[in-house]
Amino acid sequence: MKQKYLLVTLDFPPEPGGIQNYLYNFCGVVGAQNIAVLKTRAFNKGQMLPEIFNVYESGFLKKNKGKLFKLNVLFLLWKFFKINPRDFRLIFCGNIYAGAVGFFAYLLLGINYIVIAHGGEIKKMHHWDVFKPIKMIIIKYAKGFVSNSQYTKNLLVNLGIPADKILKILPATNLKIPEELKNDSMIEQRSIKVLKLLTIARLVPTKGVDIVIRSLKIVKDRGFQFKYDIIGDGPQRSELNQIVEDAGLQNRVVFCGPISEEKKTQYLAGCDLFILLSRETNFSVEGFGIVFIEAGIFGKPVIGSTIGGVSEAIVHRSTGLLVSPENIEEVANTIISLIKNDDLRIKMGHANRVRVEQEFRWEHRRPIIERLLQQT
């Protein structure tokens, strides 16, 4: 059966990441019988999700090639015209760069396209961006846009895009507590003597792991006990190792590296507090932060930053706390407040779990995605 829709994307599982998961689950709601996927070849197979979609692959440049990675769009464009594209009714472009394929499909075949925006790639357009002229052409001819947060939607509006052309579809999750952990006492928040903190992120400056480490030196100097697990890898790893050594935290900070989805759930179940202090660096910014939602599945309170779209992932003083990522003293005091106040930590963790189950499952997104498909 030929699918009616096509997703063209540079980011898709088994490559790991929040955008990858967003697009995979978006397609899951549309339905494998309705949508095919044209994606770049996966070199980092970090998460093996069920291969339920009709997938076409092309592209040979890895993400560590930086801006050159975006040239994979040329390979995707070539592949697009090899797969009998006239049968597709609508194209979803996984980000503004993949929109180049949508533009040529519209120009040469008259097929409409919708651009899915995630924040960082749009934020760059408000500053110096060598790709901005190309992006503006892609924006001009797009049928519409999907944004992953109100923050991202505002960025698009500030570029002159009418608000009624932008549909906000917040990220959600299908992550579930494994059966073997459902009765595990680790999931339940409790009184503690040693706080277990957790971060899951690519190790790049935007994620603010260095801020957490520096704040934890203050926490240590004030006599509080903790352990900090960092899951992920990236170009900042050696720099972060040095910061840990300089702070004298070698016995309290553990770099766990990249791990499987199964192991990730175990770490989420075992931690007391999830923390990720994203900040804006080189015009890169967190458009939402799905990991805060994933932590909520396990009833964990969260600390995030006031930057980007994180304020939609965290309800301040309800499911967690928002802090300025550049104020290390404030970060340290916030962590200490949750060490000292078991009741507050437990209350926030419970609120986070309830919110996820009521608002952040992909089934909650089905009505709005179905309306989108009906309107196009």
For the whole prediction, is pTM greater than 0.85? Answer: yes
- Overall size of the chain counted in residues: 376
Query: Is the pLDDT assigned to residue 84 strictly greater than 60?
Result: yes
Q: Which residues of 350-361 are buried (b: 16+ CB within 10 A; e: fewer)?
A: bbbbebbeeebb
**Mean predicted confidence (pLDDT) in 205-224:** 97
Residues 105 and 360: their CA atoms lie apart, in Å, by 33
Query: Is the pLDDT assigned to residue 192 strictly greater than 90?
Result: no
Q: Which amino acid is at 45?
A: K
In which band, very low, low, confident or very high, does the pLDDT at 281 lie, cut at 50, 70 and 90?
A: confident
Domains 5-174+362-375 and 179-359 share a fold: yes
Among 52-61, 270-279, 352-361, the range scoring the smallest mean pLDDT is 52-61
CATH number of 5-174+362-375: 3.40.50.2000
**Mean predicted confidence (pLDDT) in 330-335:** 98
CA 134 to chain centre: 25
What pLDDT is recorded for position 65?
45
**Mean predicted confidence (pLDDT) in 189-197:** 84
What pLDDT is recorded for position 173?
96
Q: Which residues of 313-322 are buried (b: 16+ CB within 10 A; e: fewer)?
A: bbbeeebbbb
Using CA atoms of 174, 175, 178, 179 in order, give the dihedral in degrees to the nearest 10: -30
Encoded tokens for 269: 């179940």
> Bigger pLDDT: 172 or 63?
172
What pLDDT is recorded for position 178?
81
**Mean predicted confidence (pLDDT) in 356-363:** 97
User: Taking all residues of the chain, what is their mean pLDDT, rounded to a whole number?
Assistant: 92
Indicate the domain borders of the chain: 5-174+362-375, 179-359
* Backbone conformation region of residue 282, classed left if phi is above 0, alpha if psi is from -120 to 50, else beta: left
Percent of the chain whose predicted confidence (pLDDT) is above 90: 78
Superfamily in which the 179-359 domain is placed by CATH: Glycogen Phosphorylase B; (3.40.50.2000)
